[in-house]
Amino acid sequence: MADRLLSLPSSADAAIRAHGEMTYPHECCGALVGRNGHVTSVVGLPNTTEEGPRRRFLVRPSDYREAERKASELGAELLGFYHSHPDHPARPSQYDLDHAWPTFAYVIVSVTGAKAGDLTVWFLNDDRSSFEEGTLHHAEDSHSDSAQAVHRQA
């Protein structure tokens, strides 16, 4: 598969890192909103997992819909989702793979001891066999609707 790109403005990058640090030692999660591989906004979403938020996240259908609504309000669409790996590297787990949607960009930020570190992006292969690491392009903020993180408690 061709190398896939995701362009992430530095404010979105910062918002994702801040979200991960805020929820540490729990996982944070949120939606990536934009167009044609360019993220324009990130939308922080509540982690509603019932399996222990230290190692799991879940965006429930109602929040997915809300993120979708938010995206269309901004005249954009959902490009994917981000989540944090507290005290684990920014690489997708088997669980991530098992639950992945195609075409979506999966941004993972590693948070070690409440400090955000590596930030990577991944795309599911068509046959669901693995993730392909994509290339992050750290764009400067150019859009008026620049990154905003909405931190909500479940």
Partner 1 sequence: MPKILIPTPLRPYTDKLDAVDASGATVGELLADLTRKHSGLKAHLYTDQGKLRSFVNIYVNDEDIRYLQHEQTPVQTGDTISIIPSVAGGAPSVTDVVTGLPQLTNDEIKRYSRHLIMPEVGVDGQRKLKAASILCIGAGGLGSPAAMYLAAAGVGRLGIVDFDVVDFSNLQRQILHGTPDVGRSKLASAKDRLQALNPEVHIDTYETALSSENALQLFEPYDVIVDGTDNFPTRYLVNDACVLLGKPNAYGSIFRFEGQASVFGVKDGPCYRCLYPEPPPPGLVPSCAEGGVLGVLPGIIGVIQATEAIKLVLGVGEPLIGRFLIFDALRMKFRELKLRKDPDCPVCGTHPTVTKLIDYEEFCGVRHAATEPATVNHATEITALELKQRLDRGDKLKIIDVREPNEYQINRIAGSILIPLGDVPRRYHELDPNEALIMQCKSGARSGRAADFLRSVGFTNVLNLKGGILDWIDKVDPSQPKY
Residues contributing to the site for partner 1 (CB under 8 A): 27, 29, 49, 54-61, 64-65, 68, 77-78, 81, 83, 85-88, 91-96, 98-104, 106, 126-128
**β-pair type (29-35, 77-86):** antiparallel
Considering the complex, what minimum distance in angstroms separates the CB of residue 135 from partner 1? 20
Give the DSSP H/E element, type plus range, for residue 33: strand 29-35
Closer residue to partner 1 (CB): 106 or 139:
106
Closer residue to partner 1 (CB): 10 or 25:
25
**Residue keyed to tokens 């939606």:** 31
Considering the complex, what minimum distance in angstroms separates the CB of residue 18 from partner 1? 19
Closer residue to partner 1 (CB): 109 or 139:
109
CA–CA distance, 15 with 151 (Å, rounded to integer): 10
Closer residue to partner 1 (CB): 94 or 153:
94
Three-class secondary structure of residue 3 per DSSP = coil
CA–CA distance, 105 with 83 (Å, rounded to integer): 11
